[in-house]
Amino acid sequence: MGALYRTFRPLTFQEVVGQEHVKEPLLRAIREGRLAQAYLFSGPRGVGKTTTARLLAMAVGCQGQERPCGVCPHCQAVQKGAHPDVVEIDAASNNSVEDVRELRERILLAPLTAPKKVFILDEAHMLSKSAFNALLKTLEEPPPHVLFVFATTEPERMPPTILSRVQHYRFRRLREEEIALKLRRILEEMGREAEEEALLLIARLSDGAMRDAESLLERLLLLEGPLTRTQVEAALGLPPKEALARLAEALLLGKVPEALKEARRLYGLGFAPRSLVGGLMEVLREGLYAAYGLGGARLPAGPEELLQALTRLDEALERLSRRSDLLALEAALLNLLNLAPTGPAPPPEPASASGPVPEPDPHAPARPKAPPEAGETQDLAEGWRAFLEALKPTLRAFVREARPHLEGKTLILRFPESKAFHHKKAEEQKAHLLPLARAQFGVEELAFVLEKKSLSGASPPPPTRPVPPREASPPVAAPPPEPEPPLVVDLEGEDPPWEAEEGEDPSEELRRLARLLGGRLLWVRKPKAPEAEEPVSEDGIGGNGIMPP
């Protein structure tokens, strides 16, 4: 058996997979006898450029009804590469002055049997400058008996003078389903069976190139029996998808011990960290597709988390090309742990519970989500985050405006002067907050301070560094597919549910609250105000946003 891609090379345009945007106009031109004298086929390798060029060459002299028929002597000769009037040149290796001179001479010769001589120049961008110049003269006034087809993966490297004289068709990458379908056809003809998943995996690995897919399939056909995905993975040395899915899930759920165990096991089996991270990315990608309802296996994370995870792994891949041991792998994986909680994230772990530590560092604080260089400030920041996450959203909205400081056995919550309202509301809830603060920080007392800038020296800032407030959205956000319900607030009632401080825009506050509750503020109806205000509308569809009285 010859190479699969040669054996199953299309003999008609119908057999070419995909590329309808190329096939249709070409077929029309053939039928109407209006073929151009020079074509440029560009696109990635293995997607059918040379095949289509050969089909054109067949069509030129085909004696069948529907051209090219693939069976007449002309078509057969072209297919075998034995037609005297069809010249295939690999531009990369026929670049010398003599080659060009020879080419020019051949162009001038009349065809022997076919109506036209067809020159197919593969890797055309590799032609030398002198070769292009020689061709240009021919292309300016092409002899009527000549048809040129340039095929290239890099059309941008073709000289503009050539580009302006050719009909340019861009071939696209083939979809995985298109490739799998062709592989299925080949297998049927050979009387072999295969799992759809196996074919899709081969298709994915070939990155849209049919020729690569066919070569891969050819290697795999040496295996006995029906082709399964597990077989393909094993034969190609890929980590099994089930294991990668387990690993992804453990990481996304923050189950550090499970994740590390699985990673070590796979590493121990001989899989390179790069192929493990690459496989993990495939799993996350499928999870991302699933999160958007595009099929595939779902993962316990929202689309934004998955996207973040993919970005981090992509960066890790580069680092892994320099250093590729177990430690580097673990670092890459643990980097996925503190993704910003967006979509339907798992419930946060209580930070006081000390889970097993990822890396054997007996002196590090036992807190799985802390990066290795956890210092005192880092500890406070982590604790503060966990503290906030444990609060009810309404209470969190007030407390998160504070900056925490530890002084002895007291946790001091400092509110900026502009957040007097938050300060007041938080202080009112001290009874709720104190037990949580005790559990989280091991303090005995909780103090609320409103910082007054004007009273300098009244309460000097403590030596501990302040912790920046966390800007992430709370974990109560609605799942992505559901539209957020707009929250309409009528403020015309007698008792506004807030006490606006001077200089604070109450609608800002409401908007923040609405976000916290998983809603969205559409507009705020204002009390009859003495002066006109800026329209309050978040989405730009609410007009001026102010209802008439």
Q: Which positions lie near Zn ion, rule CB under 5 A?
A: 62, 64, 68-69, 72, 75
| Separation CA 407–CA 285 (nearest Å) | 46
Q: Which is nearer to Zn ion, 62 or 277 (CB)?
A: 62
Min CB(313)–Zn ion separation in Å: 51
Min CB(58)–Zn ion separation in Å: 6
Q: Which is nearer to Zn ion, 75 or 256 (CB)?
A: 75
Strands annotated E in 70-218: 86-90, 117-122, 146-152, 167-170
Strands across the sheet containing 410-415: 403-407, 410-415, 445-450
| Separation CA 204–CA 178 (nearest Å) | 11
Angle at 228 between CA 224 and CA 230, to 5 degrees: 110
Min CB(115)–Zn ion separation in Å: 13
Min CB(13)–Zn ion separation in Å: 12
Min CB(73)–Zn ion separation in Å: 8
Min CB(66)–Zn ion separation in Å: 9
Q: Which is nearer to Zn ion, 73 or 371 (CB)?
A: 73
| Separation CA 392–CA 395 (nearest Å) | 5
Q: Which is nearer to Zn ion, 69 or 163 (CB)?
A: 69
Indicate the pairing of strand 117-122 with strand 146-152. Answer: parallel
Report the first-to-last Cα separation within the chain, whole angstroms.
84
Q: Which is nearer to Zn ion, 46 or 68 (CB)?
A: 68
DSSP state of 155: G
Query: What Cα–Cα distance (Å) separates residue 403 from each residue in 299, 352, 513?
Result: 35, 20, 19
Q: Which is nearer to Zn ion, 64 or 469 (CB)?
A: 64
Neighbours of 116 (CB within 10 A): 20
Min CB(57)–Zn ion separation in Å: 11
Cβ neighbours for 114, distance < 8 A, ≥ 6 positions apart:
60, 61, 74, 83, 85, 86
Cβ neighbours for 387, distance < 8 A, ≥ 6 positions apart:
351, 404, 436, 437, 440, 441
Q: Which is nearer to Zn ion, 93 or 113 (CB)?
A: 113
**CA 91 to chain centroid:** 35
Provide DSSP, 463-503.
Answer: SSPPPPPP-SPPTTPPPTTSPPPEEEEE--SSS-SS-PPTT
Q: Which is nearer to Zn ion, 68 or 368 (CB)?
A: 68
Provide DSSP, 521-538.
Answer: EEEEEPP--SS------S
Min CB(121)–Zn ion separation in Å: 23
Min CB(83)–Zn ion separation in Å: 11
Q: Which is nearer to Zn ion, 64 or 480 (CB)?
A: 64
